[in-house]
Amino acid sequence: MNAAKRHEIFRRLREDTPEPKTELVYASSFELLIAVILSAQATDVGVNKATAKLFPLANTPATIYALGVAGLSEYIKTIGLYNGKAKNIIETCRLLLERHDGEVPQTREALQALPGVGRKTANVVLNTAFRQLSMAVDTHIFRVSNRTGLAPGKNVLEVEHQLMKWVPKEFLLDAHHWLILHGRYVCQARKPRCGSCRIEDLCEYPAKTSDD
């Protein structure tokens, strides 16, 4: 895919959604961190339902740590893998209090040193909470990048590096959100909605049919 196509893809995505945002509900960088940890193999809708009960009562490292694993589990038990996530979150809260004065660190290295925080989660927090240039490649972004020809790659790290290299600079800060939304609602996994896609004429997906 050439540079002109890439620019036009993001120009249209920006035109349709000038201020793209995560669909996770949060009011602080810490709340976002917890929500993203919970979102692994879970839907944003499911996470929001759980945090709507949790955050009004505990939304700081100290208050969540005070719940303990058992107490936190009661709030998040509707989310997949909640036992492991509860353990990771409690340990993360302890480390935030001990190492970072209760603040969420603003570097990838420090974030990834926290239990339950991988590269994707760290990139989400850096980009969404701290507005740093980073690209969190989830299943939607991986699919859209490969299917459209925007930034093909064999694994998420390769796609991340390709996107960081090829997305035009003026769009890079919000590209993560545009691609997630496009993958979630238009370029869906089983049946992409090509007929209602704003970038269909720019897409290099080889298997488009009139039934898509």
* Domain spans, the chain: 3-20+134-202, 29-129
CA angle 178, 182, 183 (to 5 degrees): 120
CATH for the 29-129 domain, from 3.30.200.210, 3.90.76.10, 1.10.340.30, 2.30.40.10: 1.10.340.30
pLDDT value at residue 41: 87
The pTM of this model reads 0.89
- What topology does CATH give the domain 3-20+134-202? Endonuclease Iii, domain 2 (1.10.1670)
Q: Which of 5, 49, 87, 120 is catalytic?
A: 120
Annotated catalytic residue 138:
yes
Q: Which of 138, 174, 191, 201 is catalytic?
A: 138
For residue range 69-100, list pLDDT tens digits in order: 999 999 999 998 999 999 999 999 999 999 99
pLDDT value at residue 211: 41
Annotated catalytic residue 77:
no
